[in-house]
Amino acid sequence: MIGRMIDSLGCWRGRRVAVAMSGGVDSSLAAAALSRAGARVIGIHMRTRAANSSIACSSKDDAADARAVAERFGFEFHDYDLHELFRDAVIEPFIREYLAGRTPNPCAICNRRLKFGALLDRARALGADAIATGHYARVRLNSDSGRYELYCAADHAKDQSYFLFGLDQSQLARIVFPLGALTKVQARAIARDMGVAVAEKTDSMEICFIPDNDYRRFLLEEAPERLHDREGLIVNAAGEELGRHDGVHNFTIGQRKGLRIAAPRPLYVIGIKPETQTVVVGFAEELFTRALMIERMNWVSIAPQAAPLRARVRIRYRSNGSMAIIYPDGDTRARIEFDDPVRAVTPGQAAVAFDENDDQRVLLGGWIKEKQ
């Protein structure tokens, strides 16, 4: 397996490639394999922790692990402090989205703004031809269209293409995903065989800066002054008052627990109205809808078009997607109509469209504005 992986990266021999190194096994293997393939690797670690702050996607141990891999394989290494940009580009939008009654997707924002934004800029300043990461995804150049296309990884359980829908052509042209053709099991085996010290390191889970996955605690600690006087009503679809709540930031679409309302059947959050601090609840069947609107849309593997197109659309990461027709409204907005009703459309999350004839190819993606 090592030989095949090294051979697949042979095109980078002699070229400078920066690798975003988190300190985990995936990015460490990406750097080590490129180095073995003859690339002139530059390891870059992104520090997101400010002094006396618990907010971080990386720790001192992670930085040390990344540096140790660089020393083991003999390539250049840089450790950049990007905690202010991380705060402005990822943390603050995360807080604002919850306070506005939406459920954010910080990984997609981080990928575009930091990993393939700020870090790519740093890489180019260091003379790198491209930037590589440990993401499980694939990029191909379509010789007919001249566009770089984003594809799912070979390991569907680890595929991260959903989170990469925001990347534009200038970014995709400079990206390398060395692990895209591997399964996670294969990646760990290769890392062990190559002597990568972090081969058995546990993967990070959930949102990296909220390791316990308790976003309510996080909001209370990070924005307590913005959580005052946010009480409101819990109503049904007819507008009848059923209870009260402490703030719409405590709720997401599809939520069942924590409503504290007696009902003959389980109730779920089916709508959030931040302008009136109102939470709307209903029964399970009321969670389904046939259409939604997306905004801030990015055309990934295909050029913008005005005509409707069919695609398989995923409205959450762990989803097989549902067939739909996409009706573009200019280049950055679209209405999506599903063949069959979909459950729990959540404003603030991403809707990502995959080719109906090749459901490995990412066509476009955008942020869900509202269900219709």
Task: Give tens-digit pLDDT for 96-116.
Answer: 999 999 999 999 999 999 999
In the set 57, 107, 110, 152, the catalytic residue is 110
Does 107 participate in catalysis according to the annotation? Answer: no
- The identity of residue 148, as a single letter, is Y
pTM: 0.93
In the set 57, 107, 152, 208, the catalytic residue is 208
Please list the ranges in the chain whose pLDDT falls under 50: none
Let me know the angle formed at the C-alpha of 176 by 153 and 186, rounded to the nearest 5 degrees.
45
Q: Supply the pLDDT for residue 203.
A: 85
Q: Supply the pLDDT for residue 264.
A: 93
Task: Give tens-digit pLDDT for 281-306.
Answer: 999 999 999 999 999 999 999 999 99
CA-CA distance, 197 to 68, in Å (whole number)? 8
Please, what are the domains in the chain? 2-194 (3.40.50.620), 229-282 (2.30.30.280), 287-371 (2.40.30.10)
Does 11 participate in catalysis according to the annotation? Answer: no
CA-CA distance, 115 to 135, in Å (whole number)? 11
Structure-block tokens of residue 184: 């996670």
CA-CA distance, 204 to 202, in Å (whole number)? 7
> Burial, 357: exposed, middle or buried (Cβ in 10 Å; 0-12, 13-18, 19+)?
exposed
Q: Provide CB contacts within 8 A for 224, sequence distance 6+.
A: none
Q: Tell me the CA end-to-end span of the chain in Å, nearest whole number.
A: 49
